[in-house]
Amino acid sequence: MNHFLDIHKTAPSDLRHMIEHAREMKTAREGRPRGALDDDQPLKGRMVALIFEKPSTRTRVSFDVGTRQLGGETMVLSGSDMQLGHGETIADTARVLSRYVDLIMIRTFDESVLTEMAEFADVPVINGLTDRTHPCQIMADVMTYEEHRGPITGKKVVWCGDGNNVCASVMHGAAQFGYDVVFTGPEQLDPEAEWQGLVRKSGQSFSIERDADKAVEGADLVIADTWVSMHDAQSARERRHNMLRPYQVNEDLMARAKPDALFMHCLPAHREEEVTSAVMDGPQSVIFDEAENRLHAQKAIMRWCLDV
């Protein structure tokens, strides 16, 4: 069963195949209306369940549109509307959904919900974000970097701010795609030690630099994310802002990276907090290509899951 649960749980050759496939599908659609079907209809007759226990714009729309472009159909389910939110076990939900649909994408809180869904489903399961990881985002990020600058292997990627779930998947990508990561942020928000070890064990470099100016020197790619994630308590907002303010990505910081460095953000962004509008809308920013590439990358992920 080809579940897409995490970058580090997927073979590098499969990840590379998906990136290439995504690029081919994107090229083949150039100039067509967004709603036009692809020439190939590998999901024709297939039903995809999109389960959201948290809000989403990009993940929801890109999976929905991507499935339709491939000829399939979707049903979008909110966790609170399902029995899942009222005590039915994850295992029973997985078994039942497997009788109705061909593929399950789930965005949830605790990683255990995702892994239990995958354990008991008879159909592939895709991780659409948990509190711990966001692998679909990193597939789009690698695709986007390589579209603009060529192979990401050997490049220096700097993560600014909170060592959160997206940062975790960036670190998993380092091990699988062969880039180095520098984390710059407050000690309280360091990425999990397990992920630090995973990068280092892979032979790639992972380091922590508390001084953001030093961290971005020689960077090929600078990434930021919101200072308060969906799973963070809103009561911690002021404390987190105070801790994270020195790690804002602004024009002065970007000027310390390589002249051809790119800026990425998974979005949604809080302008003038973790990143300034000058950077978001500036020449080094590829944030909207990154958002578009969620669509193409996830089409490749779904095709890999279903082997179609």
Q: Which residues bind ligand CP (CB under 6 A)?
A: 56-59, 129, 137, 266-268
SS3 of 188-232: the string is HHCCCHHHHHHHHHCCCCEEECCCHHHHCCCCCEEEECCCCCCCC
Q: Report d(CA 206, CA 197) in Å as an integer.
A: 9
Choice between 228 and 266, CB closer to ligand CP: 266
Distances (CA, A) of 253 to 4, 26, 73, 195, 222: 35, 32, 44, 26, 10
Choice between 107 and 258, CB closer to ligand CP: 107
Choice between 196 and 262, CB closer to ligand CP: 262
- Annotation says 21 is catalytic: no
- Annotation says 220 is catalytic: no
8 Å CB contact between 28 and 149: no
Active-site residue, from 8, 266, 298, 305 = 266
Active-site residue, from 134, 172, 240, 296 = 134
- Annotation says 134 is catalytic: yes
Active-site residue, from 29, 58, 107, 132 = 107
In the bound complex, what is the minimum distance in angstroms from residue 138's beta carbon to ligand CP? 11
8 Å CB contact between 143 and 22: yes
Distances (CA, A) of 72 to 60, 75, 176: 15, 10, 30
Active-site residue, from 68, 132, 294, 296 = 294
Order across the sheet with 125-127: list the strands. Answer: 73-78, 47-52, 103-107, 125-127
In the bound complex, what is the minimum distance in angstroms from residue 62's beta carbon to ligand CP? 8
In the bound complex, what is the minimum distance in angstroms from residue 146's beta carbon to ligand CP? 19
Q: What are the residues whose beta carbons fall under 8 Å from the beta carbon of 174, sequence distance 6 or more?
A: 157, 180, 181, 199, 202, 204, 206
Active-site residue, from 29, 64, 137, 284 = 137
How many CA atoms lie within 13 Å of 54's alpha carbon, on the beta-carbon side? 17
Neighbours of 119 (CB within 10 A): 13
Choice between 4 and 120, CB closer to ligand CP: 4
In the bound complex, what is the minimum distance in angstroms from residue 91's beta carbon to ligand CP? 26
- Annotation says 16 is catalytic: no
In the bound complex, what is the minimum distance in angstroms from residue 244's beta carbon to ligand CP? 19
Active-site residue, from 6, 102, 162, 225 = 225
Q: Report d(CA 81, CA 79) in Å as an integer.
A: 5
Choice between 221 and 258, CB closer to ligand CP: 221
In the bound complex, what is the minimum distance in angstroms from residue 252's beta carbon to ligand CP? 26
8 Å CB contact between 243 and 202: no
Q: What are the residues whose beta carbons fall under 8 Å from the beta carbon of 246, sequence distance 6 or more?
A: 212
Q: Report d(CA 72, CA 77) in Å as an integer.
A: 16
- Annotation says 99 is catalytic: no
- Annotation says 137 is catalytic: yes
Choice between 129 and 167, CB closer to ligand CP: 129
User: What are the residue numbers of the active site?
Assistant: 107, 134, 137, 225, 266, 294
